[in-house]
Structure formats: C-alpha cells, structure tokens
Amino acid sequence: KTIVLAQNMETDKLTSVTAQELRNQLSDLINRTAYLKEPILVTRQGKSVAVLVSVEDWDEFQSLKKASEALEAGNTDQTEDRGEKGASTGI
C-alpha cells in the first residue's frame, strides 16, 4: 500500500501556505487533507515549518517509520554479531 503523502511528495509539488493563510483558511485546509488526502506545506518567513496531513497518512507514516527502524536495528545487530561495527578485536 502506497501512502498518498509519499506519493504526492515524490511526484507532485506540495500545496504551500503561509502560517497566516493557514490561520485564515484552517477549516478548508483541514478538509483538503482529511478528505482529499492532500498534504499542505506550511511556511513562515519563507521557510518550511510544518506539513498538515490526514490522520490516515500520519498513521501510515508512523508504521513505515517503525518498520524502517526495526530493519535498521536488525541490520545493526547482525553487523555487530559479525564484528563489523564497533567491535573491539583486542589487538
């Protein structure tokens, strides 16, 4: 299952709003993220500060992040078992 957030970020330009526009259009922007699965980039003084995403996209992101961390931890454990990372040989 591909999450919409990742798909949009890779293939499409994110819709960008300033923090002031976010305040003025909050209800509409929440609807766009919740129902259309459209992530919204929030900027302040020209710098990206946040992304508004749907709960489903956030949950999927968290699941992918945990899976990635588990894989990395597994790879680290295997590497350490072979004495390749941080192992002291005593020589």
Question: What would the DSSP string read from start to end of the chain?
Answer: ---HHHHHHHHSPPEEEEHHHHHHTHHHHHHHHHHH---EEEEETTEEEEEE--HHHHHHHHHHHHHHHHHHHHHHHHHHHTT-SS-----
* Over residues 10-14, mean pLDDT: 63
Give the CA distances from residue 14 to residues 21, 39, 40, 87, in Å, rounded to whole numbers and listed in that order.
Answer: 15, 7, 6, 44
Full-model pTM: 0.62
Whether the per-residue pLDDT at 63 is higher than 80: the answer is yes
Give the residue, 21 or 76, on which the prediction is more confident. 21
* Over residues 63-82, mean pLDDT: 77
pLDDT, residue 75, reads 74
* Over residues 19-38, mean pLDDT: 95
Average pLDDT, the chain: 80
